[in-house]
Amino acid sequence: MAAKLIAASPFVGIAVFVSLIALVAFYYKPFSQQRLFTVEELALYNGTDQSLPILLGILGSVFDVTKGKSHYGEGGGYNHFSGRDASRAFVSGNFTGDGLTDSLRDLSSTQVKSVVEWRDFYFRSYTFVGKLVGRYYDSEGNPTKYLKGVEAKAARGAQLLEKQKNEEAKQPSCNSRWSQDEGGEVWCDEGVPRLVQRPLEIALTGKMSKRCACFKEDQLDQSGLEVYEGCDFLAKTCRV
């Protein structure tokens, strides 16, 4: 019996060695091929282990940002993005707690568009190494309905921005300047300054806003034009 155990021991050792090699290769292999990550796996690449590359996710796409180690590594200004998908934080500016999430719930179309543009930036600037299984990709690496919805909302935001740009180009914007000593002022080279609503802004940002536009005297009977407080009706320059 002892002889059999001794004879078998080399094979047991080889099996253990092969298992260890496979485990090491899984976590330490170069990302020459795209792969799927779980949340737990991605968390290993957060810059704390100097022997591992630094990875981040955005909209489920995973990128190797090791070449930006001074920013994404431990102690770096962008380290909060490393080892996770914190898509929301790219536009919210909330880098703590619940802010470091991949959920874009309740964000406006322009904010979602900005997140998609950040993802495009990483595709251009860093190496794409795989996908994060979860909200944006399923266990086979296929895009989820959530990702398709995000991209559709971003496209809608781009269309609305273009429409707003074209609409506002029909009525020239005011010139403006501001200084700490003198405050701000707006003026028109032709026409007079008026505050006007930006109707598409609600769809874009969820909030109503106004802009300063220049109107000729024969246009001043239009509804919705607001004279700056303290400014003469036909003044070409107004303090703000």
pLDDT exceeds cutoff 90 at 65: yes
Under the banding of pLDDT at 50, 70 and 90, the label for residue 26 is: very low
Q: For residue 215, which amino acid is it?
A: F
Note the pLDDT of residue 22.
45
One-letter amino acid of 227? V
Nearest to 46 by CA among 61, 35, 59, 57: 57
- CB contact at 8 A, 122 and 86: no
Residue, of 38 and 12, whose pLDDT is higher: 38
Phi and psi, residue 39, nearest 5°: -60, -40
* pLDDT value of position 198: 79
Backbone dihedral region for residue 67 (phi beyond 0: left; psi -120 to 50: alpha; all else: beta): alpha
How high is the pLDDT of residue 8? 47
The per-residue pLDDT for 3 is: 47
Best CA proximity match to 86, nearest among 47, 55, 120, 128: 55
Q: What tokens were used for 232?
A: 């003469």
pTM of the model: 0.66
Mean per-residue pLDDT, 195-207:
70
Tell me the percentage of the chain whose pLDDT exceeds 90. Answer: 67
- Quick one: pLDDT at residue 220? 92
Kindly state the tokens that stand for 181: 């000593």
CA distance 224 to 211: 12
Q: How many CA atoms are closer than 13 Å to the CA of 164, on its beta-carbon side?
A: 19
CA distance 148 to 86: 18
Residues of the chain with CATH 3.10.120.10: 36-162
Would residue 183 be called left, alpha or beta, if left means φ above 0 and alpha means ψ between -120 and 50 degrees?
Answer: left
Average pLDDT over residues 96-115: 93
pLDDT value for 30: 52
Q: Is 88 a residue whose pLDDT tops 80?
A: yes
What number is the average pLDDT over the span 184-206? 82
Question: For residue 153, what pLDDT is reported?
Answer: 94
**Interval 230-240: pLDDT, tens:** 999 999 999 99
State residue 165 phi and psi, 5-degree precision: -60, -45
* Element (DSSP H or E) covering residue 204: helix 201-205
Task: Kindly tell me if the per-residue pLDDT of 38 is higher than 60.
Answer: yes
Closest CA to 111 of 166, 81, 153, 56: 153
Q: Is the pLDDT of residue 11 over 60?
A: no
- pLDDT in the model for residue 162: 86
Region 38-48: mean pLDDT is: 98
Q: What is the mean pLDDT of residues 209-213?
A: 90
> What pLDDT score was predicted for residue 205?
65
| 171/24 Cα distance (integer angstroms) | 64
The whole-number average pLDDT for the span 61-76 is 97
Q: Report the pLDDT value the prediction gives residue 20, as an integer from 0 to 100.
A: 46
Top CATH class of 36-162 equals: alpha beta
Q: Of 85-94, 98-107, 139-148, 207-216, give the lowest mean pLDDT range.
A: 207-216
In sequence order, what are the beta bridge partners of 176? 186
